[in-house]
Amino acid sequence: MNIENEIRKFIEENFILEGDDHLGDEDSLLEKGIIDSTGVLELVAFLEETYLFKIKDEELVPDNLDSIQKISQFVQNKLNVSCENVSRTEARG
Amino acid sequence: MLLQNFLEESAHRFTDKVALIHKGDRWTYQEIDQGANRVAQLLRHQGVRRGDRVAIFLDNSVESVVSLFGILKADAVFLMLSPTLKANKLSYILNDCQVKVLFTHINKLGVVSEAQGSVQSLKNIVFVGKKDRIPRMDTPGTISWSEIDFLNPQSLRARGLSEPEAATRIPQSNIDLDLATIIYTSGSTGNPKGVMLTHLNMISAATSITAYLENVPEDIIIDVLPLSFDYGLYQILMTFKFGGTVVLEQSFAYPYEIIKQMVKERITGFPGVPTLFAILLQMEDLKKYDLSSLRYITNTAASLPVEHIQRIRETFPQAKLYSMYGLTECKRVSYLPPEELDHRPGSVGKGMPNEEVWIVDGNGNRMGPGVVGELVVRGSNVMRGYWGDPDATERVLKPGPLSGEKVLYTGDLFRMDEEGFLYFVGRKDDMIKTRGERVSPKEVENAVYGLEGVLETAVIPVPDEILGQAIKAIIIPKNGFSLTEKEVLRHCKKELEEFAIPKYIEFRDSLPKTSSGKIDKLTLKQEIGIK
């Protein structure tokens, strides 16, 4: 399963209701009311546990997390960087 | 004096000063005032009369602010609805107080369409957002917000209206005894109750609060709280009263964004709730951000854990922290002077200016220090009553010392120390207080019963450090059904608002019963070790 599908699956299983409009890849999660303040924390926990990286405070911004497409891009970038640096993965504290 | 005078007077004194900042855009007092005048004209034109109810169903936005003042200027009553309301509750509220016009956003079309069919009183819906997505309807009639566009002098001229003509104030006839707003809050029967607040109630509360916070026109406030919550709403009202600037955010989902704004706009006042402070304190190193402009932080809705109070004071040493307590029925009751945090961090202080509070026993007799009893509030900030519910009103508004006056029985248990400082003990009834919101266990139980496969359920509170109380649903599935936690949560998300969704779900074969056959919640609560 690719990153985008994994993320969509997590969001659909944890946040979306049956019978709602289909969530587009670029739809804003905040504006659609899909995610709220505690939802963001759950999403962050999921990403850190699944992809084994640590998300920094400054990275917790809508540009990185507010749509399925943005989250996938963000995850991809972080994974590319860690591959390039061959850095050790940080366990979530 | 009327509530909209706050805006009108500031528009006179501080015409070109930035009143509101939202999503990077800046709006002056004059722009907001003129926009509100345009909304008032539209409402009058659509047949809205003095005392009519007009609801706003929007995320925090400039349109929310302009609409609420426009509604007041039309002598009508505004309802700031929670943008997360589901269709069932939305239609209940619109019907309950016979709302005539609804302001909403096109991205809420799903919920609005589902709700509006059963609301006979609704004459018009004004949609903010993409005009081409607005459905054509006769009843209610649909209107685009762009028709009230107050930013666009060219569009006004194109419609044959010159600016000054378009943005004039319409004549008003309300007096301060008239209703300004109805705020819906959770009721013990499961249905929400509409708290009626007059202009006088709100002006009185705003005056007391801005006095003890020592607000000045130089204050710049950040508002990350929903405007449907009186705490969030009053940030706008009070800022307009003292002529400051308010930075309006839509949520506090992204703490780093909030900090960035606080640094960028040189925020001086930061109102928050325990959940928000908990999220912020999880950030790595708040001290590296330049928040030297911050002069005060406020907390209400639920008490802050003492360790969080200490950490907030350490992280923002130059800011004064105010622990406060209140309820929608009277806006605010008390505040703790910041100097007292060293001696009594667990207290919510004493009554605010122009108000009296005392503690009573079961018979209404005033108690002295050290005894736990119900808190009673006396002041011009006390509500008029619950809309359309004289019985519920009579249960909380009881005769006061002067003939004919009413005082508010809060339903909250408190004790007072020797110096008169108040300490919250718990709720008198069975309402759950979670994330600062009152939730009726019955409402949650009703929602759970709606799920096929549920035989019986009991909803109880569980102590929680951050939330105050968390909600637990204990469920007995019907024979042959195997329910999962996920299924229950998905169902609850459809019916209930976010804060009312159970945090804990437990499946059991049986529930303890009292001798009359009712579910024995006392025993259930005792199992978890709470009273």
Closest CA to B103 of B26, B45, B42, B49: B42
Residues 29-58 of A with CB under 8 A from B: 30-33, 35-41, 56-58
**Can you give the pLDDT of all 531 residues of chain B as single tens digits?**
999 999 999 999 999 999 999 999 999 999 999 999 999 999 998 999 999 999 999 999 999 999 999 999 999 999 999 998 889 999 999 999 999 999 999 989 999 999 999 999 999 999 999 889 999 888 899 999 988 765 456 655 665 666 655 578 888 999 999 999 999 998 777 789 999 999 999 999 999 999 999 999 999 999 999 999 999 999 999 999 999 999 999 888 888 999 999 999 999 999 998 888 888 888 878 888 999 999 999 999 878 888 889 999 999 999 999 999 999 999 999 999 999 999 999 999 999 999 999 999 989 999 999 999 999 999 999 999 999 999 999 999 999 999 999 999 999 999 999 999 999 988 888 788 888 788 888 889 989 988 988 988 999 999 887 788 899 999 999 888 889 998 999 899 888 888 899 999 999 988 888 777 778 888 888 887 654
Angle at B488 between CA B482 and CA B490, to 5 degrees: 130
Nearest CB partner across the interface for B254, out of A18, A56, A62: A62
Dump strand ranges (E) for B140-295. 141-144, 179-185, 193-198, 220-223, 245-248, 269-272
Cβ–Cβ gap B253/A20 under 8 Å = no
Closest CA to A32 of B84, B498, B494, B127: B84
Q: CA-CA distance, B271 to A70, in Å (whole number)?
A: 30
Residues 148-187 of B with CB under 8 A from A: none
The dihedral through the CA atoms of B435, B440, B446, B449 has a sign that is positive
Chain A positions touching B84 (Cβ under 8 A) are 33, 36
What chain A holds in terms of domains, given with CATH numbers, is 3-85 (1.10.1200.10)
pTM exceeds cut of 0.90: no
Q: Which CATH superfamily is domain B200-427 in?
A: ANL, N-terminal domain (3.40.50.12780)
Q: Tokens 């799920």 appear where?
A: B451
Domain with CATH 3.30.300.30 in chain B: 434-527
Q: Which of B224, B256, B487 to mutate to test the interface with A (most CBs of A within 10 A)?
A: B256
Q: Which of B59, B490, B496, B499 to mutate to test the interface with A (most CBs of A within 10 A)?
A: B490
The dihedral through the CA atoms of B356, B360, B365, B370 has a sign that is negative
Q: How many CA atoms lie within 13 A of B244 on its CB side?
A: 25
In chain B, whose CA is at the least distance from the CA of A41? B253
Domain with CATH 3.40.50.980 in chain B: 5-17+25-174
For residue B45, the SS3 value is helix
Residue type, B459: V
Cβ–Cβ gap A57/B255 under 8 Å = yes
For residue B230, the SS3 value is helix
State how far Cα B425 lies from the chain centre.
22
B234-261 b/e (C-beta count within 10 Å ≥ 16 → b):
bbbbbbbbbbbbbbbbbbbbbbbbbbeb
Chain B positions touching A36 (Cβ under 8 A) are 84, 251, 253, 498
Q: CA-CA distance, B102 to B56, in Å (whole number)?
A: 6
State whether residue B287 sits within 8 Å of chain A by CB: no
State whether residue A84 sits within 8 Å of chain B by CB: no
In chain B, whose CA is at the least distance from the CA of A43? B253
Cβ–Cβ gap B498/A62 under 8 Å = no
Domain with CATH 3.40.50.12780 in chain B: 200-427
Longest dimension (CA), chain A: 44
State whether residue B250 sits within 8 Å of chain A by CB: yes
Q: CA-CA distance, A7 to A64, in Å (whole number)?
A: 13
Global ipTM = 0.75
Q: Which of A23, A34, A37, A70 to mutate to test the interface with B (most CBs of B within 10 A)?
A: A37
Cβ–Cβ gap A57/B257 under 8 Å = no
- What's the topology of domain B434-527? GMP Synthetase; Chain A, domain 3 (3.30.300)
Token pair in block for residue B280: 């912020």
Q: CA-CA distance, B513 to B516, in Å (whole number)?
A: 8
- CATH 3.40.50.980 fits domain B5-17+25-174: yes
Whats the size of chain A, residue-wise?
Answer: 93
Chain B positions touching A60 (Cβ under 8 A) are 254-257
B92 close to B275: Cβ distance less than 8 angstroms:
no
Burial class (CB in 10 A: 0-12, 13-18, 19+), B164: exposed
